[in-house]
């Protein structure tokens, strides 16, 4: 009977537990964008993906390890035909959430696709990094990534290109020392 109740609960629990809330205004940007992609992978989907990733293939094994403890990956990306299609307020609605305690901006990480304008924020507690948000705001492109859960920055590059996360480059020389609290 307990199992039955569990099945019902699994089916009925709202999946949403995303810590950084992407504002509803971003959904309206999809209508202006030439292309937009919205990916929502909660812990159950990530567990499922991890369950079947091959441990034999080195690349898959890295990704499998990386997503093992994650609670969610949320990606929103927009590509516009001209500049000025999104406002600073659209992005600020996300940035303001990253001023909460525990969040800090790091430098030395850049997106291969987005150039140097990617801001990377991490959330830390006594156990280490427990969340990461990327805000890549280009004149004609906007990409927001929220990774909920413990993640090793050195492995972030391995996640790029998977689950809708853009490919990232890590500038290891700059990363560890230049954290600037927001």
Which residues are at the interface with another protein (CB under 8 A)? 1, 3-4, 7-8, 10-12, 14-15, 30-31, 33-42, 44-45, 48-54, 63, 162-164
CB of 53 to another protein, least distance (A): 7
Residue entry with tokens 């600037």:
180
| CB 19, min distance to another protein, A | 17
- Residue 171, CB half-sphere, CA atoms under 13 Å: how many? 16
* Spatial CA neighbour of 120 closest among 77, 51, 171, 53: 171
Give min distance, CB of 86 to another protein, in A: 14
Of 113 and 175, the one with the shorter C-beta distance to another protein is 113
d(CA 61, CA 28): 37
Give the start-end residues of each E strand in 11-95.
35-42, 72-79
Between 14 and 55, whose beta carbon lies closer to another protein? 14
86 by DSSP, 3-state: which? Answer: coil
Nearer CB in complex with another protein: 63/98:
63
Judged by beta carbon, residue 3 or residue 177, the one nearer another protein is 3
Query: Residue 173 Cβ, how far from another protein at the closest point, in Å?
Result: 31
Task: Give 9 or 181: the residue with its C-beta nearer to another protein.
Answer: 9
Q: How far apart are CA 146 and CA 163, in angstroms?
A: 12
Task: Tell me the closest approach of the beta carbon of residue 58 to another protein, in angstroms.
Answer: 15
Question: Reduced to 3 states, what is the DSSP secondary structure of residue 42?
Answer: strand
């Amino acid at each position: 009977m307990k199992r039955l109740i569990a099945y019902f609960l699994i089916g009925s629990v709202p999946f949403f537990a995303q810590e950084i809330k992407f504002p509803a205004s971003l959904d309206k940007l999809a209508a202006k964008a030439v292309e937009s992609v919205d990916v929502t992978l909660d812990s159950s989907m990530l567990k499922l993906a991890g369950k079947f990733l091959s441990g034999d293939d080195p690349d898959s094994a890295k990704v499998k390890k990386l997503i093992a403890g994650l609670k969610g990956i949320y990606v929103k990306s927009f590509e516009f035909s001209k500049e000025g299609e999104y406002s600073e307020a659209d992005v600020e609605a996300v940035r303001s959430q990253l001023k909460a305690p525990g969040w800090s901006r790091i430098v030395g990480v850049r997106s291969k696709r987005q150039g140097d304008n990617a801001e990377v924020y991490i959330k830390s507690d006594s156990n280490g990094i427990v969340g990461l948000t990327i805000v890549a705001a280009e004149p004609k492109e906007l990409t927001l990534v929220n990774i909920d859960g413990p993640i090793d920055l050195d492995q972030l590059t391995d996640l790029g290109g998977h689950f809708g996360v853009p490919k990232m480059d890590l500038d290891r020389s700059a990363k560890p020392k230049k954290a600037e609290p927001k």
